[in-house]
C-alpha cells in the first residue's frame, strides 16, 4: 500500500529512454513473461502444486513466438518438480546438487536411451511403461524412451548393456535439459530438451476449461511456467500469463485493496501502462519484466480475489492504457510528492510532455497522518566532504551548501557545495538525492530545502553589503541572491560571489568573526521520485470524489485513456 519508492527513482532512468510503443503494436490482453527467479537467484530445482479446485495435473510443452502452446506430454500428478539436468540428491524431501551429509537418494543425470523414436506422447509413454524406471523424453523435437538415472556414464552404460536392447546407449547431462519428477521422490515423469530453440513450459491443468491457480514458493499464480537455462545455468523460472491477470497480481502490492475504488482504478491503469511500455526490459534474461521494484512488485494471486476492490479495479479498467497521442505512456508513480510533482527532465534528463510537474493540493489531507511524510537529515561538513570524495571530487572543507536553482513547482533542481579552497560543486538530476545517501541518512524525496546550522557570516556584526551602495543586511541567514537568469538562490553559510576570475568567497571586513556552519539540515516532504502519479495524492483525490480518469489526467499532463 502506498509504497515508498526511493528505488524507482534510480531504476526507471533506462526505461524512460525506451521508444514508445505505438497503438498498433499492443494486442488485447497480451501475454507477459514475468521473471520470478533468475540470475544469481535462479534455481537448481523448482516445485509446483495444483491449488485444489483450480485444475489438476500438468501439461508439458513449449511456446512459439506468439505464445501458442504445443503440448508434448502430460501428467495427472498434482505435485511435480523441475530439476536442472545434473546429478541431484533427494534428502529430507528436498533436492540438492551437493551430496548431503546424511542419507539420500539419487536422481542421476545419466540414463539409458533406447534407439526407437515415437510419433506421439501416448506411444512413447506406452513404450516407456514396459521398462522399470522407464520414462518419456522429448529431445530435440523427437520422442524417446529413457530408462533409469545413474551417477555417471560407466553405470549408465552398464545398465544399457544389461538391458539387452540393441542400440541402447548411455546418455549424460545436457546444458539445456530439464527433468521433471514427482515431488519428494526420485521418480522421473518426463524429460525435455529443446536445445537452443525452445524451453520447457509447464501448463497447469489437463485443459483450459478451468482457470488454474498454482502454488509456487508459497505464492499462488495464474498462468503457465517456463523454465530456461540461460547459458546452461540454473533454472530461470518465468510466469507467463495474460496482462490482466498480471495486473491483478501487482495491484495489492502497490496500493492497499482497502483504498477507494477510483484510486485503485487509477493505479490499475498505471500498472498496466507501465508494464506494456516496459515489455522486454529483461529480454536478455529471457523474460519481459521482473517481480521486484526494478519493474513492479508482483507476487501472484495470493492477495487477489474477485470480491476485492483490487480485482474490481482491474476488471473495471480492462484493457485501458494511458496514451500520449499514439504512443503508450511511461506511467511512473511514487508514494507521495510532498506538495508537488516534478518534470521528468529535471530528475532523469528525459523530457516527456505528460511527465510535467504539478502543484498538488490534495496530499494536504493526509500529510499530518503519515509518519514518514515529513523528514529531515542533518550532515556535518565532514560528512558532506567525505561523500563528495566518495564520488571522486577532491574537495576541501565544505563551507556552504545551498539550493542554487528551483523548479516552477518549488522543488530543488540544482544544489551547490562550496569548499574552503574556493571551489564549488553543483549537482542535479538523481544526484539531488543520491548525494545525501550516506552514513544511514538520505533525502527521501525531491522536495526539500537546506538550512545551515550555526556559524556566522559578514562583518564583525554579521553585516553583508549589497548593491546599491550603502545597502546592508545583518547576515546571510534568510537572504537570497537573484541570478542573471532570474534564478533565486538562498544564501547560507559563507556566501561566494562570481568574479571575472572565478568563484570567490565574500570576504568580511577586518575584525570579522565569521565562522563556517557546524551542520546542514536537509528537510523535506514526500517519499519517492516525485515524477508522475502520487499514490497518496490519488487516495486523497478519490476521497474527495474525483474519478480515476480525473486523477490520471491531473498527474499526467495531456494524456488520453483508451
Q: How do residues 302-316 score in pLDDT, each as one tens digit?
A: 665 666 899 999 999
Tell me the CA end-to-end span of the chain in Å, nearest whole number.
Answer: 26
Domain for residue 262, yes or no? Answer: no
The predicted-structure confidence for 535-561, as pLDDT tens digits, reads as follows 999 999 999 999 999 999 999 999 999
Q: 390: part of which helix (H) or strand (E)?
A: helix 381-390
pLDDT band at 467 (very low <50, low <70, confident <90, very high): low
Residue 480: predicted pLDDT: 61
Q: Which of 182, 207, 240 is the last residue of a domain?
A: 240
Domain for residue 271, yes or no? Answer: no
Domain for residue 253, yes or no? Answer: no
Residue 126 has pLDDT above 50, yes or no: yes
Residue 11 has pLDDT above 90, yes or no: no
Residue in 555, 360, 372, 527 with CA at minimum distance from that of residue 7: 527
> Residue 73 phi/psi, 5° resolution?
-170, 175
How much is the CA Rg of the chain, to the nearest whole Å? 31
Mean pLDDT of 264-285: 95
Q: What is the pTM of this model?
A: 0.85
The predicted-structure confidence for 58-82, as pLDDT tens digits, reads as follows 999 999 999 999 999 999 999 999 9
C-alpha span between 62 and 40 (Å, rounded):
24
Domain for residue 172, yes or no? Answer: yes
Cell output for 322: 494511458
DSSP letter for 16, please: H
Domain for residue 453, yes or no? Answer: yes
**Does one domain contain both 72 and 214?**
yes
Residue 101: predicted pLDDT: 92
Tell me which range, 3-12, 14-23, 150-159, 249-258, is most confidently predicted by mean pLDDT: 150-159
Q: How many domains does the chain have?
A: 2
What 3-state DSSP class applies to 218? coil
Residue 26: predicted pLDDT: 80
C-alpha span between 97 and 388 (Å, rounded):
46
pLDDT band at 466 (very low <50, low <70, confident <90, very high): low
Residue 509 has pLDDT above 80, yes or no: no
pLDDT band at 469 (very low <50, low <70, confident <90, very high): very low
Residue 22 has pLDDT above 50, yes or no: no
pLDDT band at 2 (very low <50, low <70, confident <90, very high): very low
Domain for residue 12, yes or no? Answer: no
Neighbours of 231 (CB within 10 A): 6
Q: Which of 204, 225, 240 is the last residue of a domain?
A: 240
**Does one domain contain both 78 and 221?**
yes
Residue in 439, 361, 359 with CA at minimum distance from that of residue 407: 359
C-alpha span between 296 and 313 (Å, rounded):
17
Residue 280: predicted pLDDT: 85
Residue 27: predicted pLDDT: 87
Domain for residue 514, yes or no? Answer: yes
DSSP letter for 43, please: B
Q: What is the mean pLDDT of the chain?
A: 89
Cell output for 281: 526490459
C-alpha span between 374 and 456 (Å, rounded):
28
Residue 121: predicted pLDDT: 97
Residue 388 structural domain: 374-525
**Does one domain contain both 52 and 197?**
yes
pLDDT band at 515 (very low <50, low <70, confident <90, very high): confident
Residue in 220, 182, 173, 238 with CA at minimum distance from that of residue 47: 182
C-alpha span between 233 and 335 (Å, rounded):
37
The predicted-structure confidence for 374-416, as pLDDT tens digits, reads as follows 999 999 999 999 999 999 999 999 999 999 999 999 999 999 9
C-alpha span between 174 and 144 (Å, rounded):
15
Residue 308: predicted pLDDT: 84
Cell output for 307: 470480491
Instruction: Write the DSSP string, 532-548.
Output: SEEHHHHHHHHHTT--H
* Residue 45, beta-bridge partner list: 83
- Looking at the chain, the whole-number percentage of residues with pLDDT higher than 90 is 81
Among the ranges given (41-45, 371-375, 507-511), the one the predictor scored with the smallest mean pLDDT: 507-511
Helix (H), strand (E), coil (C) string for 120-138:
CHHHHHHHHCCCCCEEEEE
Residue 19 has pLDDT above 50, yes or no: no
Residue 201 has pLDDT above 70, yes or no: yes
Domain for residue 7, yes or no? Answer: no
Q: Which of 209, 240, 271 is the last residue of a domain?
A: 240
Residue 262 has pLDDT above 70, yes or no: yes
Residue 251 has pLDDT above 80, yes or no: yes
**Does one domain contain both 75 and 217?**
yes
C-alpha span between 248 and 257 (Å, rounded):
11
Among the ranges given (29-38, 210-219, 357-366, 505-514), the one the predictor scored with the smallest mean pLDDT: 505-514
Residue 7 has pLDDT above 70, yes or no: no
pLDDT band at 182 (very low <50, low <70, confident <90, very high): very high
Amino acid at each position: 500500500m502506498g509504497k515508498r519508492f526511493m528505488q524507482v527513482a534510480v531504476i526507471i532512468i533506462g526505461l524512460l529512454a525506451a521508444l514508445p510503443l505505438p497503438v498498433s503494436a499492443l494486442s488485447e490482453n497480451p501475454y507477459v513473461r514475468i521473471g520470478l527467479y533468475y540470475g544469481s537467484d535462479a534455481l537448481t530445482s523448482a516445485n509446483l502444486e495444483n491449488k485444489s479446485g483450480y485444475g489438476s495435473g500438468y501439461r508439458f510443452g513449449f511456446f512459439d513466438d506468439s505464445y501458442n502452446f504445443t503440448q508434448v506430454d502430460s501428467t495427472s500428478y498434482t505435485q511435480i518438480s523441475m530439476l536442472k539436468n545434473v546429478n541431484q540428491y533427494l534428502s529430507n524431501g528436498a533436492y540438492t546438487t551437493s551430496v548431503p551429509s546424511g542419507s539420500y537418494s539419487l536422481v542421476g543425470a545419466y540414463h539409458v536411451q533406447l534407439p526407437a523414436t515415437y510419433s506421439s506422447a501416448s506411444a512413447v509413454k506406452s513404450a516407456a511403461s514396459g521398462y522399470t524406471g522407464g520414462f518419456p523424453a522429448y529431445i530435440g523435437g523427437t520422442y524417446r524412451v529413457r530408462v533409469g538415472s545413474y551417477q555417471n556414464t560407466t553405470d549408465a552404460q552398464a545398465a544399457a548393456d544389461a538391458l539387452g536392447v540393441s542400440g541402447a546407449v548411455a546418455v549424460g547431462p545436457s546444458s539445456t535439459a530439464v527433468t521433471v519428477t514427482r515431488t519428494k521422490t526420485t521418480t522421473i515423469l518426463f524429460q525435455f530438451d529443446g536445445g537452443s530453440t525452445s524451453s520447457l513450459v509447464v501448463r497447469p491443468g489437463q485443459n483450459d476449461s478451468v482457470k488454474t491457480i498454482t502454488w509456487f514458493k508459497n505464492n499462488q499464480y495464474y498462468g503457465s511456467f517456463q523454465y530456461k537455462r540461460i547459458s546452461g545455468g540454473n533454472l530461470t523460472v518465468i510466469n507467463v500469463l495474460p496482462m490482466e491477470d498480471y495486473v491483478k497480481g501487482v495491484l495489492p502490492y502497490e496500493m492497499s485493496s482497502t483504498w477507494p475504488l477510483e484510486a485503485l482504478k487509477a493505479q490499475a491503469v498505471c500498472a498496466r501502462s507501465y508494464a506494456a511500455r516496459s515489455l522486454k526490459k529483461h529480454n536478455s534474461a529471457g523474460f519481459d519484466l521482473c517481480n521486484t521494484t526494478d519493474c513492479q512488485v508482483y507476487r501472484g494471486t495470493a492477495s487477489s480475489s474477485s470480491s476485492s476492490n483490487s480485482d474490481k479495479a482491474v476488471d473495471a479498467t480492462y484493457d485501458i492504457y494511458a496514451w500520449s497521442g499514439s504512443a503508450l505512456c511511461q506511467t511512473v508513480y511514487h508514494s507521495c510528492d510532498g506538495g508537488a510533482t516534478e518534470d521528468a527532465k529535471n530528475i532523469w534528463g528525459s523530457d516527456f510532455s505528460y511527465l510535467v510537474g504539478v502543484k498538488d493540493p490534495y496530499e494536504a489531507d493526509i500529510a499530518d497522518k503519515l509518519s514518514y511524510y515529513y523528514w529531515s537529515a542533518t550532515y556535518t561538513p565532514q560528512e558532506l566532504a567525505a561523500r563528495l570524495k566518495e564520488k571522486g571530487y577532491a574537495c576541501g572543507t565544505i563551507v556552504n551548501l545551498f539550493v542554487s536553482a528551483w523548479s516552477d513547482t518549488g522543488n530543488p533542481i540544482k544544489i551547490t557545495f562550496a569548499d574552503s579552497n574556493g571551489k564549488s560543486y553543483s549537482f542535479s538530476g538523481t544526484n539531488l538525492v543520491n548525494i545525501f545517501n550516506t552514513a544511514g541518512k538520505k533525502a527521501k524525496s525531491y522536495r526539500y530545502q537546506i538550512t545551515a546550522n550555526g556559524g556566522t557570516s559578514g562583518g564583525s556584526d554579521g553585516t553583508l553589503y549589497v548593491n546599491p551602495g550603502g545597502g546592508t543586511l545583518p547576515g546571510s541567514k534568510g537572504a537570497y541572491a537573484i541570478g542573471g537568469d532570474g534564478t533565486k538562490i538562498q544564501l547560507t553559510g559563507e556566501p561566494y560571489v562570481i568574479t571575472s576570475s572565478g568563484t570567490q568567497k565574500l570576504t568580511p571586513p577586518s575584525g570579522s568573526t565569521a565562522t563556517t556552519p557546524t551542520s546542514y539540515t536537509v528537510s523535506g516532504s514526500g517519499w519517492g521520485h516525485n515524477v508522475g502519479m502520487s499514490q497518496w495524492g490519488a487516495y486523497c483525490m478519490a476521497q474527495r470524489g474525483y474519478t480515476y480518469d480525473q486523477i490520471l489526467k491531473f498527474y499526467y499532463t495531456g494524456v488520453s485513456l483508451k
